[in-house]
């Protein structure tokens, strides 16, 4: 079965089509170079494991950093890694056990720096090792994993599911994000699921204002979704 090509949603930022192997998750690819001009590309979560996907990534310099943002986002990681040979596959330490024997697995506790000033950082709640990725280019992009997702109105929200690991911790992380970011360093958000609710936009363009509009204390008693 052929796979649709990824879509360029911002300059050098690509979104892959939803992947059945990650329950409809959206993976992202950031083209980047280090200070020496060498490729330092970042893959966030797992696209479909398909020849077209591998060829697309290889044609753009390959993947030097692969960040898995939450349990369930790794998809067919072993098969994909066999094709990509990514030198660093990053996962928060509490979820490393889900990827036994995966080559080049690198764990971190709170945060892991990425070339270009970005970083992967721990945002527990949806799952024990849930994480987000911050990319400072183009006004600041927050790849939210499943920590923040569009609701049916296309608004960025923490969504409580029946399998959510720890809802109060997830809401505390929302407060930390609100304190961390400003209108000057956060322009966009790229969620790992529910992208269909963005109605073709493929990206949240007013991420800072949507983040600041959240009221974690009022969300504490929100019922779990199915």
Q: Are 56 and 3 in contact (CB under 8 A)?
A: no
Q: Is residue 2 over pLDDT 90?
A: no
Residue 22: φ, ψ to 5°: -120, 30
* CB burial string 12-25: b at 16+ within 10 A, e below: ebbbbbbbebbeeb
Task: List pLDDT tens digits, range 36-71.
Answer: 888 899 999 999 999 999 999 999 999 999 999 999
On the question of pLDDT at 226 being above 80, the answer is no
Predicted pLDDT at 1: 54
Q: Which CATH superfamily is domain 7-219 in?
A: Ribonuclease Z/Hydroxyacylglutathione hydrolase-like (3.60.15.10)
What are the extents of the domains in the chain? 7-219
- Each residue's pLDDT tens digit, 79-103: 999 999 999 999 999 999 999 999 9
Confidence at residue 76, expressed as pLDDT on a 0 to 100 scale: 93
Mean pLDDT of 157-172: 95
Question: Is residue 147 predicted with pLDDT exceeding 80?
Answer: yes
Q: Does 162 score more than 80 pLDDT? A: yes
Q: What is the pTM of this model?
A: 0.96
Express each pLDDT in 171-205 by its tens digit: 999 999 999 999 999 999 999 999 988 887 779 99
Helices 51-59 & 77-84 angle (0-180, nearest 10): 40
Q: Where are the alpha helices (DSSP H) in the chain?
A: 51-59, 77-84, 167-180, 207-213, 216-219
> Is there a contact between 191 and 28 (Cβ–Cβ < 8 Å)?
no
Residue 219 has a CB neighbour count (10 Å cut-off) of 16
Say whether pLDDT at 161 is over 80.
yes
- Bridge pairing between strands 42-44 and 28-30: antiparallel
Q: CB-side exposure of 193: number of CA atoms within 13 Å? A: 20
pLDDT at 34: 83
Does 30 have pLDDT greater than 90? yes
Q: Is the dihedral of CA 130, 77, 61, 194 positive or negative?
A: negative
**Nearest 5°: phi and psi at 9?**
-100, -25
């Amino acid at each position: 079965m052929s796979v649709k090509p990824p879509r360029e949603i911002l300059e050098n930022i690509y979104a892959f089509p939803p992947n059945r192997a990650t329950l409809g998750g959206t993976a992202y690819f950031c083209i980047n170079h280090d200070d020496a001009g060498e490729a330092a590309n970042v893959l966030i979560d797992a696209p479909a494991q398909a020849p077209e996907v591998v060829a697309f990534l290889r044609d753009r310099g390959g993947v030097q950093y692969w960040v898995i943002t939450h349990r369930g986002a790794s998809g067919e990681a072993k098969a994909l890694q066999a094709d990509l040979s990514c030198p660093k596959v990053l996962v928060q330490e509490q979820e490393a056990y889900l990827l036994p024997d995966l080559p080049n697995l690198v764990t971190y506790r709170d945060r892991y720096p990425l070339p270009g000033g970005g970083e992967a950082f721990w945002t527990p709640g949806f799952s024990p090792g849930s994480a987000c990725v911050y990319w400072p280019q183009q006004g600041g992009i927050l790849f939210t994993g499943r920590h923040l997702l569009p609701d049916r109105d296309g608004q960025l929200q923490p969504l409580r599911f029946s399998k959510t690991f720890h809802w109060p911790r997830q809401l505390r992380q929302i407060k930390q994000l609100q304190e961390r970011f400003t209108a000057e360093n956060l322009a966009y958000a790229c969620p790992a699921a529910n992208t269909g609710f963005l109605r073709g936009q493929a990206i949240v363009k007013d991420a800072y204002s949507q983040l600041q509009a959240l009221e974690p204390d009022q969300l504490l008693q929100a019922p779990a979704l199915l």
